Structures are given as C-alpha cells and as structure tokens.
Amino acid sequence: GKHRVVIPCLGHFKEEYEKVSKLYMNNKIRTTRYTLLNFLPRNLFEQFHRVANLYFLFLVVLNWVPVVEAFQKEITMLPLIGVLTIIAVKDGLEDYSRYKMDKQINNLVTKVYNR
C-alpha cells in the first residue's frame, strides 16, 4: 500500500513535499460553521428554524395584506430585523473566535518522532 512521508524541515525538499502531500488529506481542524460566502443564507436558514422568528415573519407578511393591516408595514418589520441582526452579529463573532482558535491550533509546532 501507500506510505506517508513526513518532512519536518522543508528546505530544498519543498517540491517533493508538495508533490507527495497532494496524495493525502490534510489534517487541519475546522470547527467553524460559516464561510464568508455562506454566512448570510445559512444563518438566516438556522434562525428561521426558531418558532419565534417564524411567528414574527408571519406577522410581517400578514401586515402586508391591506385588509388585515394593523400597523404600519415598516414598524412590524423592526422587531424581526432587530432580532435577526443581533443574533447574526453574535453568531458571526462566535464563529470568528472559533476560526482564530482553529488557526492557532493548526499552526502549532509539532515534533515528529521516527523509530
């Protein structure tokens, strides 16, 4: 079978390392939920799984119907937008701290022992 080559000091072995390392999966730790591209859609998807947010969304949609309109349309949207924004900022900050911790752990210096 295949064997793995570990080269602790790249130096002039960099080309060989890059060629060999493409054959194996990396072992980086990733605990973050979001990327920059999927933050907004994924965060909104997760937030609308909460019943309270769905209730406020229902009120907003219902208030856009002229027959049922109880308040001004913009006022009905404020609580929902406020809650979604606060939770999105909180989730973004938590995910960023996870990203920094993952980066710190992935860049730790390790020792390789050879029998």
Q: What is the pLDDT of residues 85-106, one digit of tens each?
A: 999 999 999 999 999 999 998 8
What's the pLDDT band for 1 if we cut at 50, 70, 90?
A: low
CB 53 within 8 A of CB 47: yes
pTM, to two decimals = 0.69
- Helix (H) and strand (E) counts in the chain: 4, 0
What's the pLDDT band for 115 if we cut at 50, 70, 90?
A: low
| Res. 69: pLDDT tops 70 | yes
User: Which of 2-6, 11-15, 44-48, 76-80 is modeled with the greatest confidence?
Assistant: 44-48
pLDDT reported for residue 46: 94
Q: Measured between alpha carbons, how far is 91 from 39 in angstroms, rounded to an integer? A: 9
Q: Where are the domains of the chain?
A: 31-107
